[in-house]
Amino acid sequence: MFQIRKFRSDDAVSLARLHRGTIRSINKKDYTPREITVWSGRSSAKRFRNLGEINQRYVALESRKIVGFADYKDHELMGLYIHKNFLGKGIGKKLLMKIEREVYANGGRTLKCISTITARPFYEKNGFKVVKKAIHQIKDQKLPVFEMRKKLIRK
């Protein structure tokens, strides 16, 4: 079974590795090689440490190894990535539920996210609806994404 706890700054190296690994193996089916290179190449422990001070972040652990993480800020999910070898075990859903409960408790009644093409079916399955197609620009690359929203209810 996996556990969820708050991010600590010494998790940053593992998070950057997980993030790059998932993009390069899982997201690569939906994006061009150049998009994958630029997107995964931006990932670094420093970036994760810095964003960890701006966003609220939870990590999921299995046998003390980090297998996923999720970030949010105010009423927006800022990232949700599961280790490429741990997909489909309910970890993404558990992280999402944790954040939904926290946002609700803080007065949020909708949760926004900018979803990758890859994650769209996961978010739809979990109650999000597409608001519109969007572009996520990383350096010179314009990655197609979806703006999605979910109405939150008390659970």
Binding interface with ligand COA (CB under 6 A): 22, 26-27, 79-82, 87-93, 115-116, 118-119, 121-122, 125
Question: What order of strands is seen across the sheet that includes strand 3-6?
Answer: 3-6, 56-62, 65-73, 76-82, 110-115, 141-151, 129-138
CB of 113 to ligand COA, least distance (A): 6
Decide whether 12 or 112 has the Cβ nearer to ligand COA. 112
Decide whether 12 or 72 has the Cβ nearer to ligand COA. 72
CB of 117 to ligand COA, least distance (A): 8
Residue 69 burial by Cβ neighbours in a 10 Å radius (0-12, 13-18, 19+): buried
CB of 128 to ligand COA, least distance (A): 10
Decide whether 45 or 114 has the Cβ nearer to ligand COA. 114
Decide whether 7 or 122 has the Cβ nearer to ligand COA. 122
CB of 59 to ligand COA, least distance (A): 13
